[in-house]
Structures are given as structure tokens and as C-alpha cells.
Amino acid sequence: MASVKSKILVVGGTGFLGRHVVAASARLGHPTVALVRDTAPSDPAKAALLKSFQDAGVTLLKGDLDDQASLVSAVKAADVVISTVGAPQIADQTRLVAAIKEAGNVKVTEHACPGSAYMPRAIN
């Protein structure tokens, strides 16, 4: 019997660290969603990155840390939330935590950036 893979949401997936987390999640066979501000960016490098995600089976979901409704919607579709947002956005993670609590379905979050130790690992 095949094991059931967790549905992974990566916030900050187009950043320096996040792009590797998204790729690894997809490579390991997890249904992976990358929350992105723009699904059709004008920057050619970012467009190529998003295309590589899609080619790997990653779902791109438009959303933003400043848009609580988009965060809640994204979180509701996930089993695990991984935040790879950069240091300048650490304070914004409080919105992500609020979305996780509002959605009520995620039990574990991971944070993967300097200074993010302030984000709780388990959300009860």
C-alpha cells in the first residue's frame, strides 16, 4: 500500500531558500502548492522559476501575506505549512499564524529562515 503524502503549502516559495523547498517537496511526491503574489510575473527569471514549478507538478496559488482571505484559503488546502519568507517579512508571519488558526486544519508548521524561531512549530 502506498503511503499518503502530505499536502504541502510553501509561503515564500520563490525566494532564495523557498525555491529549493518547493522543488524538494514536489520531487518527494508531495502535492505542493506555492503561494505567490503574481502567477504571471513580468520578470523573466521569476516567470521561468514559476514555469519550472508547474512543470514539476506544483500548483501556483495567488496570495499575499497582506491578504488574510488568500492566506486562509491556501491554508485550508494544506496539511503542512512551510514558511520560507525572508527576514524583512518575519513580523508578517503573525498573519500566517492567524490564518492557520482560523483554518483549523493544520497541526504542524515549519519555518525556515533566520529569525523565524518566533513562529510556533505546532499550532494548537
Residue 73 has pLDDT above 90, yes or no: yes
Determine the pLDDT at residue 123.
45
Please check whether residue 101 is in contact with residue 109, taking contact to mean a CB–CB distance below 8 angstroms: no
Strand partners, 108: 80, 122
pLDDT at 3: 78
pLDDT at 119 over 90: no
pLDDT computed for residue 48 by the predictor:
97
Q: Where would I find the H helices in the chain? A: 18-27, 44-55, 68-76, 93-103
- pLDDT tens digits, 75-114: 999 999 999 988 788 788 889 989 999 998 886 666 555 5
Q: Is the pLDDT of residue 57 over 80?
A: yes
Query: How high is the pLDDT of residue 110?
Result: 61
Grouping H, G, I as helix, E, B as strand and the rest as coil, residue 110 is strand
DSSP structural state of residue 123: -
Q: Measure the CA–CA gap between 48 and 28, rounded to whole angstroms.
A: 21
- Asked whether the predicted pLDDT for residue 7 surpasses 80, the reply is yes
Q: What integer pLDDT is reported at residue 120 of this predicted model?
A: 46
DSSP 114: T
- Give, in order, the Cα–Cα distances in Å from 111 to each of 21, 24, 42, 93: 11, 15, 28, 10
